[in-house]
Structures are given as structure tokens and as C-alpha cells.
Amino acid sequence: MLWLALHFRHLPLDVFTRGMPADQHPLAVTSGAETGARIIAANRVAQMQGVQPGMGVSAACALAARLQLVARDTAKEHASLKRIAAWSLQFTSLVSLADPDAVLLEIEGSLKLFGGLNKLHQHIARGIAQLGFNASIASAPTPLAALWFARAGANVRVQHPDALRHALEKLPADFICDDTAMRDLLENFGAQTLGDCLRLPRDGLARRAGRQVLDQLDRALGLRPDPRQPFIAPQTYSAALPLPAPVSQADALLFAARRLLAELCGWLTATGHGVQRPRFEFIHEKQLVTIITLELANASRDLDHLTTLLRERLARTELPCAAIEIAIASGKVVPLASRNLAFLPDNAGREESSSRFVERLNARLGAHAICGLTPHADYRPERAWRACQPGAAAPDPGQATSSLMPTRPLWLLTTPRPLRESGKTSAAPMDQEGSPLSLLAGPERIEAGWWDGQHVARDYFVARNQAQSLLWIYRERNVAAHWYVHGFFS
């Protein structure tokens, strides 16, 4: 077994600041809203102004005039930790929560897939940074040792059990237990490090400090089993990200939304699903909510693609005022198998890129601006086609139909345009300038539609005007017998 521990030292602060690209204003997290509250964490700007964790709130406010205070939200921290655990299921199938601020991953089986321990470390570190958290990462053959290394902030990657003892010996003795009385006791023994503790006689230590200390040491060294509760990924994903300051620019909103999208995509990868209608809620001041639902032609879990779609949608959405919170819900998810990458660009890749192309256009231009055309079985030219979703056209009618339809123009006028006519009794069609049209082919009689109230009875001709354009014109077969132009043979 090889365990990787992610320890989120700054979790109380990170849950509030991860929606912002950089610290701009001093911000501190307090232990509560009551008067005697203390500062638990402060961002970089606040720390530069002298605010330190452990300080009283009034002292901190005296140091930093514009200090923004938020009360610690442990429920949000726990929810974040669970979402991180769900996200990290993409790297391994065994993930365990180590409350209150760490996640453990069993990674031995994943080393080969991700190209070794160092690569995996980098991969996870990059991913965590993309989520907007600060984590210290360490790995060791036992979960407890990995956790201790991560808590100590030591970037330790012990892969072999034999090297574990040597690495553990350097850690401070504080990690053995949280009990201060016990820590004092160990300090009185002169045991500064875990190495010192290990060198103490076991039976004496057990008698004086209790069995618990020995058990912890044995678990860390792998001499005692240390079972961990596996984390089970939730069935749906929903998350909310509070913004420390109201945000009105689309770019800044996108930045914050991308944090959640990265979580979503990690969860989707872990569960082998794709989203088709992810839903975003931008919660504004005055309790206004803007809802954006992306419509995807094909399920996807590609972070960049989803970000692009959201960017295009945000660009054409007007927000009523600045947003203070972003929420995201996965909506319905569908199973999405991973695709084998091909050495050469293949058809599957092209199909995927084509559906993405359509989705991008939809997101930017709106669904009404894009369509495909499909033939429809009707003799009336204006009804022989239908608009449809791009790519959804009926399969080709084949050679039979094309030979049946020798004279159809490539351009059709949506509504036929009346032609001028010569004033004689046998009215002849003329073009806009008043020069007569010469009829080259025809007529082709089309008479249909008496059954649905859109009856047409027309004789179609191919005509040439003075400028040598070929027109598709018709004469109505009624008493008036007016001429209309219906298309161009482009």
C-alpha cells in the first residue's frame, strides 16, 4: 500500500478566497461572530499588515483598517473536503477522509497509469491548485505516516517501507496525539521527535503514557493495521462558492465558476459520467438569481470545453447586478466511456470535435441562428424542406429522388416574389427593370395541398432574364394567373 495525504492547512480561508484570482483586500476568518472571537486565518494582504492567527478581532481591526472579517464556516469546510475527496477519486478508487482537514488516497495501483510517484504528485498538485486550494502533499506506505508528513508540511515521498522509519524519526513528537497533557509528558521525557519516542522502552512508555501512544506509533510504522473508511462518491454533484466581494465582470465570474467546473469534471471522471445540461446559478445581491443552463449535444466532462461554453453564454447574458455567490449543479448525468487516444486523427475525434463546434456556436449565437436542412416529402417546393438540428437531417433520399428532380434551384426565396407583367391579355413575365423573361424550360405542374388548406396550383418554368440569370418562376393556375419568381439556379 502507498498512501498519499492531502492536508489543507488553510481550508478555513480557502473556502472563501478560492473564487478570486488574487488577494486584493485584507481578509481574515474569525472563530465566530461573538465579541471575544479570535482570528483563525488571514490572507496574505492581511498578514502583511500585521494580522496574525490567534489575535483578537479588535486588535486585528486596529492593524488593518479595511479588514474584511468572515466567520468560520465548518459546514462549508467539510462539504469542500468531501468534494475534494470526490474529485480525487479520479486518481484512485480508494479515498478516505481524514477529518477535519485532510484527504487520504491509496495510490499504489495508480502509479503505473500516471507515470510514477513524482508525476502523480505533480498531477495532483496541479489539480488542487486548479480547484483553488492550498495543500501540502506527502506520501508514505502507511496512511498515518503520510498524514503526519503532510501535516508537518514536509514534502516527503517515501515509497518503500524500509525507508519509512528513518523518515518518521525526524518528525516532532507532537503528532502522536492531540492531548496536550500527553505532549507535556513526552516533552518531560526529553522526547522531542518521533525518533526519540521510538527509542524509549516500549513497556515503560505503555505503562506511563498509555497504550494509545504505542498504538499510534505502530500504526505509523505499519506494524499495526490501520483500516480506513473508504469514501463513496455522491450520486449527483452540486456546489456553491461564495465570493468574498461582489463580482460583476464576466471574466471574474468565469474564473470562480471554473473552480467549481474543475471539481465537477474531476467528479465526472471519477464516476465515469458526462454532463449534458449543467446548471449555473449566479446569486446576486437583493436575492436576484441568474440561471444559465448549458445545453450540450453530446455529454462531456472536458473542463476547457465547458469553460468555453460558459464563457460564450456569459458574454451574451446580461447580469442584473454583481454576483455574490455561484452555485453549480450537474443536472442529469449520463455514462460516458473514456476514449482511447489514436495516434492519427480519426473519425471519432472528428465527430467529437464536430459536436463541440455545434455546441460552441449554440452557446454564442443561440440555437435559433444555427440549423440544418432536411428534405420533406411534399410536392410544394416551400414545404419540401424543414429546418432541423444540425446533423439530424434524414438520410439521403438517394439517386432515385435526384433523378426525379431535375430542375430545382439551389437558391429558394422564402416567399415567392411577384413579377411584373406585360399588360397584354396573355400576360408575360418581366423582371424588375421591365424587360421580358425568356422561358427556357417547363412547365412543370405542381398541384398539391388541397387537403391542408395550403393549396397550390402552379406551372413552374425556368426563365432567363436580361442579365442572363436563370430564375425559377411560376404562374398561378387561377383566374388572375400572376407570375412569381421562386428561386435562382445559382
Partner 1 sequence: MNASPSAPSASQAIVSALNHPAIWRGNDFAQVATPSVPTGYAELDVHLPGAGWPTGVITEIHVERPGIGELQLVMPAAARLTQADRWLVMIAPPYLPYAPALAAHGVKLSRLMLIRPKTLAEQLWACEQALQSTSCGSVMLWLDQSSERMAENALRRLQLTAERREVLAMLFRASRAASCAQAALRLHVSREPQTSRTAVRILKRRGGGIPAPVVLDLHSALLQRPTPAQRDEFDHVSEAPASAFVTH
By CB under 8 A, what part of segment 423-482 binds partner 1?
426, 428-429, 436-443, 445, 459, 461-462, 464, 467-471, 475, 477
- Please name the helix (run of DSSP H) or strand (run of DSSP E) that holds residue 282, with its range, or none: strand 279-284
Span near partner 1 by CB under 8 A; candidates 147-155, 262-270, 292-300, 348-356:
348-356
Pick between residue 155 and residue 435 the one whose CB is nearest to partner 1: 435
Residue closer to partner 1 (CB basis): 213 or 437: 437
Supply the angle between the helices 161-168 and 211-221 in degrees, to the nearest 10: 130
Q: Compute φ and ψ for 260, nearest 5 degrees.
A: -75, -35
Q: In the range 126-145, which residues lie near partner 1 by CB under 8 A?
A: none
What are the C-alpha distances in Å from 460 to residues 2, 257, 429, 449? Answer: 80, 57, 12, 16
Residue 62 Cβ vs partner 1, minimum distance, rounded to whole Å:
53
Question: Looking at 34, 99, 396, 433, which residue binds partner 1 (CB under 8 A)?
Answer: 396
> Taking the complex as a whole, how short is the minimal distance between the CB of residue 354 and partner 1, in angstroms?
3
Question: 161 or 443: whose CB is closer to partner 1?
Answer: 443
Q: Are 259 and 19 in contact (CB under 8 A)?
A: yes
Closer residue to partner 1 (CB): 59 or 387 = 387
Under the criterion CB under 8 A, does residue 348 sit at the interface with partner 1?
A: no
The residue among 215 and 421 lying less far from partner 1, judged by its C-beta, is: 421
What residues numbered 356-385 form the site for partner 1, per CB under 8 A?
Answer: 356-358, 360-361, 364-365, 369-375, 381, 384-385
Distance CA 96, CA 88 (A): 10
Helix axes 250-271, 303-315, angle to 10 degrees: 150
Task: Give the H or E element holding residue 323.
Answer: strand 323-329
Residue 47 or 354: the one with the smaller Cβ distance to partner 1 is: 354
Closest CB 409 distance from partner 1, rounded Å: 6
Residues 27 and 244 sit within 8 Å (Cβ to Cβ): yes
Minimum CB separation of residue 436 from partner 1 in Å reads 5
Residue from 201, 395, 423, 453 touching partner 1 (CB under 8 A): that is 395
Residue 466's CB is within 10 A of a number of other CB atoms, namely 14
Residue appearing with cell numbers 395541398: 449
Q: Which stretch binds partner 1 (CB under 8 A): 28-36, 71-79, 127-135, 389-397?
A: 389-397
Which residues ranging from 150 to 179 are in contact with partner 1 (CB under 8 A)?
A: none
Which residue in the block uniquely carries the three cell numbers 502509479? 111
Quote the cell numbers at residue 389.
Answer: 438540428
What is the closest distance, in whole angstroms, from the C-beta atom of residue 336 to partner 1 in the complex? 19
Backbone angles phi, psi at 353, to 5 degrees: -65, -30
Give 238 or 308: the residue with its C-beta nearer to partner 1: 308
Measured from the CB atom, the residue of 324 and 412 that comes closer to partner 1 is: 412
Give the residue from 156, 187, 189 showing the smallest Cα distance to 172: 187
Q: Quote the CA–CA distance of 167 and 154 in Å, as a whole number.
A: 10
